[in-house]
Amino acid sequence: MLTNPRILLIEIDRDLSQMLKAALEQAQYVVECVPSADMAVHALRRANYAAVIRVEANNTAVLETLALAAARAQGWSIDRLEREYIKQVVATVQGHRGRAAEALGIDRRTLYRKLKEYATTET
């Protein structure tokens, strides 16, 4: 019998943790939250997890997980997932494209090209 993957969140940023938990649960993950790394060790002894995420502000792994959870819940294509993820990272850095490109690990010109593509396909 197939079960839904379990994810453990270490809540450093509580508001972000709650947003991430809601998105993951919508995508059919079983989510457990703990307030510290010490408590995470105990939780890891009790169960097997598909992922353990330390949730803190400006954590790119959290944005990636949110994007993957949303894609799974909505049946998005890889292209749609990439577009939504890039847009979310740009929004997270208040539109600063240089910082967004750095967070994404891509060249700034590549980011500009992708954003230009997205603007033309959305109109």
CATH number of the domain residue 84 falls in: 1.10.10.60
What confidence score (pLDDT) does residue 100 get? Answer: 87
Q: Residue 88: is it exposed, middle or buried by C-beta count within 10 angstroms (0-12/13-18/19+)?
A: middle
Say yes or no: 86 and 116 in one domain: yes
Whole-angstrom distance, CA of residue 104 vs CA of residue 63: 10
Residues 94 and 123 in one domain: yes
Instruction: Check whether residue 61 and residue 86 sit in a common domain.
Output: no
Residue 70 and residue 24 in one domain: yes
Asked if residues 26 and 74 have their Cβ atoms less than 8 Å apart, the reply is no
Q: Give pLDDT, residue 113.
A: 94
Name the domain count of the chain: 2
pTM over 0.85: no
Q: How far apart are CA 84 and CA 72, in angstroms?
A: 13
> Containing domain of residue 21, as a range?
1-75
For the ranges 20-24, 40-44, 103-107, the one whose mean pLDDT is highest = 103-107
Q: What is the DSSP letter of 4?
A: P
- In angstroms, rounded to a whole number, what is the distance separating the alpha carbons of residues 10 and 43? 10
Given pLDDT bands bounded at 50, 70 and 90, which one contains residue 63?
Answer: low
Axis crossing angle, helix 108-122 with helix 78-92, rounded to the nearest 10: 110
Claim to verify: residue 70 and residue 29 sit in the same structural domain:
yes
pLDDT at position 70: 65
CB atoms within 10 A of CB 92: 18
Has residue 103 got a pLDDT over 90?
Answer: no
pLDDT of res. 1 = 38
Task: Indicate if 10 and 61 belong to the same structural domain.
Answer: yes
CA distance 121 to 15: 33
pLDDT at 57: 62
Same domain, yes or no, for 92 and 48? no
